[in-house]
Amino acid sequence: MSSRPGRGTGGDGTEDDGVVERNEGGAGPAPRRRGQGELEAQVLAMLRSAPGPVPVAWVQERLAGDLAYTTVITILTRLHGKGAVARERAGRSFVWTAVADEAGLAALRMRKVLDAEADREAVLASFVTALSPNDERLLRELLADTSEEAPGEAED
């Protein structure tokens, strides 16, 4: 199986991460597009299982499917830009370490969406009113816990 970079939307209209898995020779079932963020989550999980900082080849060897080395570098670079992984020089290349888990990656995505909007209050109000009662209760508990831990900090 090999992969090639692509760009577009998945069958459900959501943007994908640009990787299409293909069978050798083009025969067999239709290619499966990875969902948005699916490959990033897989790479992040792989880094979290690593014994320490690892090179791109280590990640590439352990991912399911045959991803191109450059595809793995692209995903790692995206994750680095999001603050989910750290990198340090090792000779002429880098070694990579996870600094966020999947929940942290999702939180980074949510923060990016919020930061892109001019009316933060309206976005947050819409978000909170759309929460299920259980999620709203959980959010209130988390906010209460956070405010108890840092009573001296000013609010935005």
Domain membership flag for residue 130: yes
* Tally of structural domains, the chain: 2
Domain membership flag for residue 111: no
The CA-based angle 107-16-2, given to 5 degrees, is 120
Backbone angles phi, psi at 124, to 5 degrees: -65, -40
* pLDDT grade for 149, boundaries at 50, 70 and 90: confident
Residues 131 and 94 in one domain: no
Domain membership flag for residue 26: yes
- Domain span at residue 142 reads 117-149
Cβ(33)–Cβ(16) under 8 Å?
yes
Domain membership flag for residue 75: yes
Residues 130 and 86 in one domain: no
Per-residue pLDDT reduced to its tens digit, 57-109: 999 999 877 789 999 999 999 999 988 999 999 999 999 999 988 888 888 88
Domain membership flag for residue 13: yes
Domain membership flag for residue 87: yes
The CATH number covering residue 71 comes to 1.10.10.10
Per-residue pLDDT reduced to its tens digit, 14-29: 344 444 444 455 555 6
Cα–Cα nearest to 57, from 44, 70, 69:
69
State the pTM of this model: 0.60
Residues 17 and 94 in one domain: yes
